Copies of this chain bind each other. A is one copy, B any other.
Amino acid sequence: MDRPPGPLPKEKMKAVLEASVREFAEHGYAKASTNRITKGAGISKGLLFHYFGNKKNLYLYTLDACVENYLQYLSVHLKDLSPDLLERMLEISGIKIKMFMETPLMYRLVASAFTDPPWELKEEICARQNRIYSKQVPLILKDIDKSMFREDINHEKAIQLVLAAMEALSRRHTAAFRERADGGLAELPKIIDDLKEYVDILKYGIYTGRKRKELSLPE
């Protein structure tokens, strides 16, 4: 971000951001058109480049806004989380899926930026990814009750396994909802119930028998 886009009036800023998110989310970085963005935002071409310098910057700025929004959303909803890692992961997955349903374009922009970075932006995007990780992981792992974990397994590995599994399972659900204009929110409980079943299986592998009993799972 060479050019700090400070003094651009908030209203216009918002219009640009909205148009940008839509354009980049719908067409991807490569095929996104700055022309359409200016038209969508109702500003002139000159102004866009005056403030953002070039397409790359604009994309990065847009991505940052989405990431910020993402982190903000998480931090707002991540209250009173369970000390049980798997329960917490369930809660977090629910939050993420909800977020995806509420702001699908933003979510999609971030997701595609990370899974398929636009090549010439790899480095910059990677930095954002690390930033998210460094902010997200502590959020997820803070005050986890590790006494529940089996002692004969690598705790770090166990956590990574859970993260990976939940991420992959969640994606399967979100993938189906693309473009289905917010109609999906009603199905959120069903999705979470589904995830819950997977979580229960994971519990067998990760928690001690004693804990499992407390959680009243069948031995």
Chain A residues packing against B (C-beta within 8 Å): 26-28, 30-31, 112, 115-116, 118-119, 150, 152-154, 157-158, 160-161, 164-165, 167-169, 172, 197-198, 200-206, 218
> Is the CB–CB distance between A198 and B116 below 8 Å?
no
**Residues of chain B within 8 A of A201, CB atoms compared:** 153-154, 157-158, 161, 205-206
State in angstroms the CA–CA spacing of A157 and B218 once bound together: 17
Find A164's partner among B152, B158, B172, B204 (CB 8 Å cutoff): B172
Q: How far is the CA of A202 from the CA of B206 in the complex (A)?
A: 8
Closest chain B residue, CB of each to CB of A156: B197
Chain B residue with minimal CB distance to A165?
Answer: B165
**Interface of chain A, helix or strand or loop or mixed?**
helix
Give the CA-CA distance A30 to B31 in the complex, in Å.
Answer: 6
Given contacts A154-B197, A201-B205, 6 further A-B contacts (CB under 8 A): A28-B116, A28-B118, A30-B30, A167-B168, A201-B206, A204-B206
| Pairwise interchain contact B153-A200, C-beta atoms closer than 8 A | yes
Q: List 11 A-B contacts (CB under 8 A).
A: A27-B30, A28-B30, A150-B204, A153-B201, A154-B197, A157-B198, A157-B201, A160-B198, A161-B169, A164-B165, A201-B206
Which among A26, A157, A205 has the highest number of chain B CB atoms within 10 Å? A205
Minimum C-beta distance from A24 to chain B (A): 12
Task: Specify the chain B residue showing the minimal Cβ separation from A39.
Answer: B2
Contact of A116 among B116, B165, B167, B200 (CB under 8 A): B116
